[in-house]
């Protein structure tokens, strides 16, 4: 566990342990949950499909493609445990592969029209 006070910035660094220097990381999705076993209902989305959903989220420059750094402000779920669990999904891509998910950035899913 990592302890941080409410409204303090929480800094996270992800590191890809690989000897291949042509790989890079992309933060696809990051979700917070009041329980460690359910990341689908009653959760708070920080990043989804590469799109930032939390206004306190920020990325930080890394001199290496295999290290990803970001932060967001710590919070607590209402009427629940003082604990918050994170589940983040990272994508590994080849550097300079401009057709890869890493270079697509934020992908908004289009909504379908419903027929009457």
Residue-wise pLDDT for 17-53, tens only, equals: 998 989 999 999 999 988 888 888 888 999 999 999 9
User: pTM to 2 decimals?
Assistant: 0.84
Q: Class of 8-94 per CATH? A: mainly beta
Neighbours of 32 (CB within 10 A): 19
Residue-wise pLDDT for 42-97, tens only, equals: 889 999 999 999 999 999 999 989 999 999 998 877 666 788 889 999 999 999 99
């Amino acid at each position: 566990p990592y302890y941080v006070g409410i409204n303090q910035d929480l800094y996270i660094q992800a590191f890809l342990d690989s000897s291949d220097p042509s790989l890079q990381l992309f933060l696809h999705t990051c979700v917070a949950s009041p329980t460690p076993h359910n990341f689908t209902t009653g959760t708070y989305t920080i990043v989804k499909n590469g799109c930032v959903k939390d206004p306190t989220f920020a990325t930080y420059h890394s001199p290496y493609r295999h290290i990803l750094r970001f932060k967001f402000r710590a919070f607590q779920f209402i009427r629940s445990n003082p604990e918050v669990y994170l589940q983040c999904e990272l994508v590994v891509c080849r550097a300079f592969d401009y057709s890869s998910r890493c270079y697509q950035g934020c992908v908004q899913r289009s909504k379908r029209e419903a027929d009457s």
